[in-house]
Amino acid sequence: MNKYKLTVSHAPFWHDGDSLFKMNLNIMIAALPAVIFGVIQFGAPAVGVLALSLSSAMVWELILNVISRNKITIGDLDSAVIGLLFGMMLPATSPWWLVITGTFVSVVIGKMIFGGIGANPFNPALIGMAFLILSWKIFFDFDAAYLNYEFGFTALAPLAALKAKGALAVAGLFPVKDLIMGRQVGAIGCTFGLGLIIGGIYLILRGYIRWEITISFILGIIITSFCFNIAKPDVYAGPMLHLFSGYTLLGAFFLATENSSSPVNTIPMFIYGFFAAAMIILMRNIGAYPDGTILAILLANLVNPLMDKIRPKAWGKGVNNA
């Protein structure tokens, strides 16, 4: 009797020695430019929101690990990334209970209930954000949130102003250079466009996110918003305002590219990125919310399994040897 058994594990069978910890650490490093700028711009309250978001996300995962008697997995930093990205999407004035509620929904419902890392069909941070926006929309009125702040620029959230007044009324209020350099009102980690671009390029060069999704996402924003702008330039803004305000760049580099909820095949990646971006512009221009990034990417997550079935047809004919 053969005493030796061939043990086969799940794919991948060969990799470059990278790890979840290293990948998540690099994602957090890539987010640092935008995070640091947000802390400088919004002060100590931003530090509190980010720290509470990151720590509570890890605590929720630890509690679930203990309750389910599974291996403690907070060391892979996946929940830390969820908490950091979630905190970056919040205003600096968010109350503590809002942060904790959001991280609970993100980690427990968005990730752990589906089986943990790699099993979530939706981006966990976006699940938490969608829950908060639908439940307590008032806290995401950035103009009201920063009413007591004094800024050296137009203290209006660009997309909210665009939604309320139209493109003609806000023309000249938000120069592209100011938007890129963070001279705008918004979420803690989403105002500094240049920082998000630098972090995103770093992740692409290191191979942690796929450029196909990001490029098609950006092209989708530009093309769709351009079409609206051509049709009604006095109502709908041009591509640059949409691209460099709101959650757009965070979505392009950090949210739409989340591994578990995005395609693995090349052609679906292009479709997925463009579809998410087109839905964002549709929601902004003819929807109820000033910024549709959260809901649009979740919608793309929903149809991702169908998109990922799109593959090039093989050439030639099979030979039946039966």
pLDDT tens for each residue of 47-85? 999 999 999 999 999 999 999 888 998 999 999 999 999
Question: Angle formed by the axes of helices 124-135 and 78-88, to 10°?
Answer: 40
**How far, in Å, CA of 143 to CA of 301, rounded?**
30
> In which band, very low, low, confident or very high, does the pLDDT at 119 lie, cut at 50, 70 and 90?
confident
Say what the pTM is: 0.90
Whether the bond between 124 and the residue before it is cis, its omega within 30 degrees of 0, is: no
pLDDT tens for each residue of 174-198? 999 999 999 999 999 999 999 999 9
Contact 103, 88 (CB under 8 A): no
One-letter identity of residue 42: F
Is pLDDT above 90 for 22? yes
- The per-residue pLDDT for 3 is 60
Q: Single out the residue of 135, 147, 31, 43 nearest to residue 89, CA to CA.
A: 31
**How far, in Å, CA of 242 to CA of 206, rounded?**
27
- The per-residue pLDDT for 321 is 53
Q: Single out the residue of 73, 97, 101, 278 nearest to residue 287, CA to CA.
A: 278
**How far, in Å, CA of 46 to CA of 308, rounded?**
38
> Quick one: CA torsion of 198, 200, 202, 206, rounded to 10 degrees?
-170
**How far, in Å, CA of 30 to CA of 57, rounded?**
19
Contact 123, 295 (CB under 8 A): no
Q: Tell me the backbone φ, ψ of residue 81, rounded to 5 degrees.
A: -65, -45
pLDDT tens for each residue of 232-260? 999 999 999 999 999 999 999 999 999 99
**How far, in Å, CA of 173 to CA of 322, rounded?**
73
Q: What count of residues does the chain have? A: 322
Q: What are the domain boundaries of the chain?
A: 20-138, 152-307
One-letter identity of residue 142: F
pLDDT tens for each residue of 77-115? 999 999 999 999 999 999 999 999 999 999 999 999 988
Is pLDDT above 80 for 277? yes
Contact 269, 128 (CB under 8 A): no
State the SS3 of the chain: CCCCCCCCCCCCCCCCCCCHHHHHHHHHHHHHHHHHHHHHHHCHHHHHHHHHHHHHHHHHHHHHHHHCCCCCCHHHCHHHHHHHHHHHCCCCCCCHHHHHHHHHHHHHHCCHHHCCCCCCCCCHHHHHHHHHHHHCHHHHCHHHHCCCCCCCCCCCCHHHHHHHHCHHHHCCCCCHHHHHCCCCCCCCCCCCHHHHHHHHHHHHHHCCCCHHHHHHHHHHHHHHHHHHHHHCCCCCCCHHHHHCCCCHHHHHHHHCCCHHHCCCCHHHHHHHHHHHHHHHHHHHHHCCCCCCHHHHHHHHHHHHHHHCCCCCCCCCCCCCCC
Output the average pLDDT for the chain: 90
